[in-house]
Amino acid sequence: MIKIRNVYEGHSESDGFRILVDRFWPRAVSKEKASIDLWLKEIAPANDLRKWYSHDPKKWEEFKSKYFNELKEKEEIIEKIRELEKESNVTLVYSSKSPLNNAAALLEYLKVNS
């Protein structure tokens, strides 16, 4: 099972393998407190896309479409996440305050393209 969790919520035993999917390390969170097993910054949206989106809810659908196109070029990383899921639960960790973020989009992509 793959799920998402905000890094500021802390972690839970049910999280399993925790993957940070942001390009930048979360502010004011130590590596110990974040309990991240793997940081896949290369799965995050390109900087231009991230800046363009700026968590504007009106741009959400277009953001997902553009991000999904980027993800098609990252199949090796996607496969790594799928392999980890075979071994345990996987939690995609993000730091955004918005629920409309790259982790939510990535989770949707993984479900749609399974």
Tokens of 76: 């090796």
Q: Higher-confidence residue: 93 or 13?
A: 93
Write the DSSP symbol of residue 41. Answer: G
Whole-number pLDDT of residue 114: 76
Q: Taking the complete model, does pTM exceed 0.85, yes or no?
A: yes
Q: Which residue has the tokens 């629920």?
A: 99
User: pLDDT > 90: what percent of the chain?
Assistant: 95
Tokens of 113: 């393209």
Positive/negative CA dihedral, 43, 47, 48, 53? positive
pLDDT tops 90 at residue 101: yes
Where are the domains positioned within the chain? 2-112
Whole-number pLDDT of residue 113: 87
What digits encode the pLDDT tens for the residues 18-73? 999 999 999 999 999 999 999 999 999 999 999 999 999 999 999 999 999 999 99
Whole-number pLDDT of residue 68: 98
